[in-house]
Structure 1
Amino acid sequence: MSQHVDLNLLTALDMLLTERNVTRAARRLGLSPSAMSRTLSRLRLATGDQLLVQAGRTLVPTPYAEQLTAQVHELAHSARAVLQPANNDLDLKTLERTFTLRANDGFIDLIGASLMAAIAQAAPRVRLRFVPKLDKDAQPLRDGMIDLEIGVIGTKAPELKTRLLLQDRFVGICRTGHPLLARPGITAKRYASHPHVVVSRKRKFSGPVDDALDRLGLRRTVVMVVPSYTNAMRIVRNADLIGLVPRSSLGSGSPEEIATDAGLQYFELPVRTPAIKVSAIWHPRLHADPAHRWLRDTVLTVCKETRLRD
């Protein structure tokens, strides 16, 4: 005997798992909190699982609910899409939309102004919201909290779409007048002989440079770890430390302009490190969306037009 399933419960479950709060979920669905509580009871009966349980003043999902979250969100989104008329016409002049992008400080500094100028010219009612790139977790893309991520691919989420935007490289930085610059020819041995500051969100003291130095029988001394490239540049500007940053994080100016504006100099590393491949990353539910496709194309165009003057 087939069991009748109320598909309205799918939308309610998606909202409850997203908000993890009965009152907020009810508000978003235009229901009263008591009606949403009754719906949660129906969902518990239908699934045979508590789904959300009290933990102090908040609700937390059960392991089964955690397992369902991504699938339920995708199903609910697909159901809503099926029941809406298809509309592929895109009028950029009247498009009103806010896109949320996740990127690191260096990328925002490099193309933020140019990207906003290009968007303002084509779609004056579109806004951008950049949020910090604290990790590479794919869940915000799946949940729709992030529209587009910019950075090095670091997730194993198989469904995500990607597009290469630019290739970058690591360079060394130091303050103008640093002893390392006293004579030409920065060798690996001289590079390793000075104290270093490294950037790592995972608080690691080593990286690809250390692997390359190790193959030469050399080891550098890392005395400080900081969370961002901006931190490293500010510290290096005022200390006898050597830093390591992507070339793009220094802006698109010439070496002379960077030395004048930032008070530091960069140099090519005396060892080889892997290229930095910066990509756009998005969830497949937005792949065919005309406005999102336009945003992706605009980001790619701006990246291509940004030239790093070496």
Structure 2
Amino acid sequence: MARPDLNLLVTLDVLLAEGNVARAAQRLRLSPSAMSRALARLRQVTGDPLLVRAGRGLVPTPRALELRQDVGRVVEEAEALLRPAKLLDLGALERTFTLRNREGFVDTFGPALLARIAQEAPRIRISFVPKPDKESVPLRDGAVDLETGVIGDTTGPEVRAQALFRDRFIGIVRKGHPLLDGPITAERYAEGKHIFVSRGRRARGPIDEALAQMGLKRTIAVTVASFSKAVTLARNSDLIADVSDVSTISLRDGVASFALPLALPAFTISMLWHPRMDADPAHRWLRTCLREVCTGKAGDFAPKQC
């Protein structure tokens, strides 16, 4: 079945309001003949004459009277849908946003973000969910509204991204660890036993590659799936862990951090979203909040060496 021409709704609304082909044509800036053809099409699709001659004028049929009660409302609602969005009323906005982040991010940036949201839009609800991978499917299917992380090979090409801050890997050990007794060279660093953080099945990472270029190799004693677990183990053992600096600042109480004695590049943490959310006023406001919170807090966290 062919889809009806929805433009005919506007024509029908004006015809029923005017009850006159010539006046309806003038109102819609059409010629009388074009309006007559439109009326003929309306009669065809509705199966009703709609307007019939009575003396010198036209009168609506019972079917037309039924339609007149609904068509005006439908046209008004359609026009409202196509108008530009109203100014965002943050105080009255009720909505839930789902944010996907790696562990550590919520600990570091969550409190400031929630405080700002509570102040500007108290009816907004935030749902933080874990980020076990870099796949863009949750953004694409709408399960996630916004996420943060490093752009990778599995990031969808259509995904929008905006840089939030630069981060880098640092080393951490418990306070009083023997490694802190002298200069932290690559050799002394490699001699220790290490915690390897991997969300997948990788057995090596950029640190191992950098050590290999120097003719060194470290011993991986344990592999964990999160920075928080790595911090906990390092705090309570003689193991050495490597974590991102900015994203884990709130997790590192009770440990000493140090700059890695390796040539590792910094990396960019970005926020990512699907393009269908680009023009959504509430989503744009949330992106602004997250960007300003991250920019402000990340600026306070220079890498530390103990």
Provide TM-score, normalisation by structure 2. Answer: 0.70
Tell whether the 8 Å contact from 1:203 to 1:226 is kept in structure 2 after alignment: no
- 1:174 maps to 173
Q: Which amino acid aligns with 1:137?
A: E
Structure 1, unaligned runs of 5 or more: 7-79
The residue type equivalent to 2:88 in the other structure is L
- Structure 1 distance, partners of 2:101, 2:83, is 33
Q: Which amino acid aligns with 1:102?
A: R
- Equivalent residues of 1:198, 1:224 under 8 A apart: yes
Determine helix, strand or coil for the equivalent of 2:233.
Answer: helix
Equivalent in the alignment of 2:15: none
Deviation at 1:94, TM superposition (A): 0.8
- 1:85 Cα shift? 4.8
- C-alpha distance in 2 between matches for 1:168 and 1:186: 21
For 1:171, give the aligned amino acid. Answer: I
CA distance 1:4–1:236, shift in 2 (3 Å):
same
Q: For residues 270 and 296 of structure 1, do their structure 2 counterparts lie closer, same or farther at Cα, with a shift above 3 Å needed? A: same
Specify the code of the residue in structure 2 equivalent to 1:173. Answer: I
Regions of 4+ moved over 4 Å: 80-85
Distance 1:295 1:165 in 2: 13
Q: Which amino acid aligns with 2:163?
A: L
Distance 1:93-1:106 versus aligned 2 partners, 3 A rule: same
Is this contact kept in 1: 2:104–2:250, CA < 8 A?
no
Say if 1:164 and 1:250 are closer, same or farther in 2 by CA, change over 3 A: same
Distance in 2 (CA, whole Å) between partners of 1:82 and 1:202 is: 48
Q: Map 1:1-310 to 2 at 5 A.
A: 4=2, 85-154=83-152, 155-183=154-182, 185-251=183-249, 262-306=253-297, 307-309=300-302, 310=304
CA contact (8 A) 1:252 1:308 kept: no
Q: Is the 8 A contact 1:203 1:225 kept in 2?
A: no
1:86: how far off? 3.8
- Amino acid aligned to 1:250: T
Length, aligned pairs only: 228
Measure how far apart 1:83 and its partner are.
5.5
Q: What letter is aligned with 2:272?
A: I
Distance of aligned partners of 1:223 and 1:252 in 2 relative to their CA distance in 1, 3 Å threshold: closer
SS at match of 2:91: coil
Residue deviations 1:168-193 (CA, integer Å, cap 9, x gap):
1100011111111122x100000000
Unaligned 5+ runs, structure 2: 5-77
Distance in structure 2 (CA, Å) of the matches to 1:81 and 1:270: 63
Deviations 1:130-163 (A, max 9, x none): 0000111111101111000111112341111000
Distance in 2, Cα, partners of 1:5 & 1:201: 49
Distance of aligned partners of 1:265 and 1:220 in 2 relative to their CA distance in 1, 3 Å threshold: same
What amino acid does structure 2 have at the position aligned with 1:149?
A: E
Q: Secondary structure at the match of 1:299?
A: helix
Contact between 2:107 and 2:250, CA under 8 Å: does it hold in 1? no
Superimposed CA distance per residue, residues 223-273 of structure 1 (whole angstroms, 9 cap, x where no aligned partner): 2110000000001111111000011243269xxxx5xxx221110000021
